[in-house]
Amino acid sequence: MIKSIRQIGVLMGVLLLLCACSSTKVLKEGEYLLDKVTLNTDTNVVKTSTLAGYLRQEPNSRWASIAKVPLGIYLMANPESNSGINRFFRMMGEAPVVYDSLLSERSKQRIQGALFNLGYMHATISTEEFYHKHKVDLTYNINIGKRFTVKNIDVEVRDTSIASEIERIADKSYLKIGMPFDANILNQERSRITNHFTDNGYYDFNRDFVRFEADTTAGSDSVSLKMIITEHLDPVHKTITPHKQYYIGEVRYTYDRSSGSPIWLKDILLRHATSLRSGELYRESNLKDTYSRISRLSAIAGTNVRMEKSSRDSSLLDVNMILTPARLNSIQLALDGTNTAGDLGAAANFTYQNRNVFHGSEVFSLKFRTAFEAIRGLKGYADQNYFEYDIEAGLQFPDFVFPFIPKDFRRNAKATSELAFMFASQDRPEFHRRVLTTSWKYRWNTNQGKRHHKFDLLDINYVFMPWISDTFYDSYIKNPESRNAIIAYNYKNLFIVKMGYQYQYSSVGTVSPIGIYGKDAYTVRWGVETAGNLVHGICNLFRTDFNEDGQRTLFNIAYAQYVKMDFDYCKSFRFSRRSSLALRFAFGVACPYGNSDILPYEKRYFGGGANSVRGWSVRSLGPGSFVGNDGRIDFINQTGDVKLDMSAELRMHMFWKFDGALFVDAGNIWTIRDYKEQPGGQFRFDTCWEQIAVAYGLGIRLNLSYFLLRFDAGMKAINPAYQDARRHYPIIHPNFKRDFAFHFAVGLPF
């Protein structure tokens, strides 16, 4: 470990030396490299990190606040050559920031303007320049002074036709006597009034009709504030008229045929997706909602809503909706190569989609997947290969397909209903397995996309084993000395009839495909899933038979009965536009009961992998202090009923589109019951804290905005599987071959 620290130190020293020696060589006579910028204030009332956003010129970025590595990469290019390799270095790196005193003066003005808008009207700013070896350190000394407050407020409504409306909503005003004089609050008030009027029929109303006058002579540190709401100014005829309310007139739909995609949609579907309805007041929120709802129709690629004042009635707005059809049919074919613990294979995926199968923007999809893998090293089995194929058919509706849904709820929620059927076949040397699945699910979101709901009304899985090899059966199911209860349960025919609900809240609304990356935000997810209760009631009603293990059966097939609950909280703290800290806490518990003593394999938790404790490869951690000793079945033994995941990740921009991360992960999985096949795996309150695994590492991310490729390298720090100090604390005694895990994934870990 000490050797590794030395090597890292030497590398950082070399990078620092390279940057220091070469960064000033590209400067011309009289030019200086902006090396450091400091903001000093006489108070902590206003954060310097906030004021730094107004700087017009900042020094080159540093890795870990030490080395200007992006600058060093840029300087590796030959300034006199424009060859491919030199263009590459310039693209990946960061050009030297040459100090510009004019930009420094503009930065002062911007900071002073920002402080003025916050009410610090007596703020003063001075700069100090320290020159050393063709570099300059710049310091902004900021004296904020006392903040102005609002002494009195006057409202002048020049359009008497809306005076009563202004008075009616006055109690919701952001303006209060004695409040700080803050331009942000004034803008909030302007937006509040504008939103109210545009959402109550005043189509022509905009922010320019609300303005403020501030008189700073009211006192030494106070302001007399006047809000003026002006009449409507016709931009064409330059005439002043009262503000006018508008109602929706005709709503017309036309298709843009230039795309060449023929389409026809049911009128009732378009009317339901349109919140602008004839005879109702014009509301801007309804216009935005219309765009949102129609954009969710798979058969529509684009929408252009044009509002036109009616020639029949001056108080009406006609709505012309121009719809651009999407491509009706699509086919995708993908080929993959696989490598599972050295066993090579290949897979092919075929997908067909029809985006308007019943002329209601229903999406019909048909997927087929087949895979082959050559398995080596299995003894006692006739066949040495693995073959799999899956067939899945799905139908998605752009609304709730369910009776008794209240009209207001249906109108406010953006929902889809999904029907799916799937058949999966797996032929391994040890066994053949078939899974038949059918499901009916609902998905919807509310509150500007901040709240997401998933409700699986019914999900039926029938798992059956048409063949098990004699070797596998004798080794793990029949032989009383080596019998594995988890395998015996999961390699029998089984019904899983479940339903579940999941809720997610995101503080920033609908997030990008790569999550809340680099934002001050948080997400909360929790869900509950139950299985077997409906079937249990039916079996009790008709008094069905029990099998040899004492389980109730339906059609002579046992059914699973369990309850599963999950909670996941993620929080991101943004330090600057280049760095943030992300934290995660996740907990899950699943309890078999009634007709089950063991969870189905598909519902069990596993530890390790790209989204868990990253010092372990996937499905190689836990449960508890369990140590696997049979590589053929550890994939099922290293599963559990309880899971804990905790992570902290420092994320920072490196150069070009590459970001870096330093992370620490902790967690494990446990079983609720004490299974002899998993010694040390049971969850106990008095010992679970001793069995928490810890890992640390670093990652590189290629951030392309619409998706993110992630490469994480993790090392074990505390390994609960071993009790001797050398292996229990690999952070003190690291072994790269034993303790290292590499992960490649798409998207963030949380």
Using the CB atoms, write b or e for 141-174: b if 16+ within 10 Å: ebebbebbbbbebeeebebeebeebbeeeeeeeb
Higher pLDDT: 1 or 238? It is 238
pTM, to two decimals = 0.82
pLDDT at 514: 57
Q: How many residues does the chain have?
A: 750
pLDDT at 2: 44
- Per the domain annotation, does 664 fall within a domain? yes
DSSP string, 422-446: EEEEEE-SSEEEEEEEEEEEEEEEE
**Residues 423-470: pLDDT tens digits?**
999 998 888 999 999 999 999 988 777 899 999 999 999 999 999 888
**Residues 279-293: pLDDT tens digits?**
999 999 999 989 988
Average pLDDT over residues 383-388: 81
The CATH number of the domain holding residue 320 is 3.10.20.310
> Does 287 lie in the same domain as 184?
no
> Does 200 lie in the same domain as 87?
no
Beta-sheet pairing, 451-468 with 494-506: antiparallel
- Per the domain annotation, does 467 fall within a domain? no
Q: Look up residue 233 and give its amino acid.
A: L
pLDDT at 197: 97
3-class secondary structure, 382: coil
Task: Choose the final residue of a domain: 325, 347, 373.
Answer: 325
Rounded to whole angstroms, the Cα distance separating 504 from 214 reads 44
Q: Look up residue 344 and give its amino acid.
A: L
**Residues 670-697: pLDDT tens digits?**
999 998 888 999 999 988 999 999 999 9
- Per the domain annotation, does 362 fall within a domain? no
Question: Looking at the predicted structure, is the pLDDT value of residue 132 above 60?
Answer: yes
**Residues 173-184: pLDDT tens digits?**
999 999 999 999
pLDDT at 159: 92
- Cα separations in angstroms, 333 against 327, 352, 396, 662: 17, 9, 21, 37
- Per the domain annotation, does 422 fall within a domain? no
The CATH number of the domain holding residue 675 is 2.40.160.50
Using the CB atoms, write b or e for 124-137: b if 16+ within 10 Å: ebeeeeeeeeebbb
DSSP string, 111-165: HHHHHHHTT-TT-EEEEEEEEETTEEEEEEEEE--PPPEEEEEEEEES-GGGHHH
Task: Choose the final residue of a domain: 304, 325, 346.
Answer: 325
Higher pLDDT: 725 or 412? It is 725
Task: Choose the final residue of a domain: 241, 257, 283.
Answer: 241
**Residues 612-626: pLDDT tens digits?**
999 999 889 989 999
Which of 43-52, 523-532, 651-660, 674-683 has the highest mean predicted lDDT (pLDDT)?
A: 523-532
> Does 132 lie in the same domain as 213?
no
Own/partner long-range contacts of 367-373 (Cβ < 8 Å, ≥24 apart): 367/391, 367/392, 367/393, 367/394, 368/392, 371/338, 371/345, 371/346, 371/347, 372/345, 372/346, 372/347, 373/338, 373/340, 373/343, 373/344, 373/345
pLDDT at 5: 44
> Does 639 lie in the same domain as 729?
yes
- Per the domain annotation, does 488 fall within a domain? no
> Does 631 lie in the same domain as 746?
yes
Q: Which helix (H) or strand (E) holds 420?
A: strand 414-427
> Does 744 lie in the same domain as 651?
yes
Higher pLDDT: 186 or 654? It is 186
Question: Looking at the predicted structure, is the pLDDT value of residue 574 above 50?
Answer: yes
> Does 307 lie in the same domain as 187?
no
Domains of the chain: total: 4
> Does 710 lie in the same domain as 609?
yes
Q: Which residues pair with 129 in a beta bridge?
A: 138
> Does 274 lie in the same domain as 169?
no
> Does 221 lie in the same domain as 104?
no
- Per the domain annotation, does 345 fall within a domain? no
pLDDT at 633: 67
> Does 317 lie in the same domain as 228?
no
Q: Look up residue 643 and give its amino acid.
A: K
CA nearest neighbour of 394 among 298, 462, 324, 529: 298
- Burial (CB < 10 A; 0-12, 13-18, 19+), residue 648, is middle
- Per the domain annotation, does 24 fall within a domain? yes
Confidence grade of residue 343 (pLDDT, cut at 50, 70, 90): low
Average pLDDT over residues 319-330: 93
Higher pLDDT: 130 or 78? It is 130
> Does 518 lie in the same domain as 637?
yes
- Per the domain annotation, does 446 fall within a domain? no
Rounded to whole angstroms, the Cα distance separating 665 from 607 reads 11
**Residues 266-279: pLDDT tens digits?**
988 999 899 999 99
Full domain range(s) for residue 168: 149-241
Which residue matches tokens 């292996």? 727
pLDDT cut 90: percent of the chain above it: 59
pLDDT at 516: 60
Rounded to whole angstroms, the Cα distance separating 153 from 166 reads 14
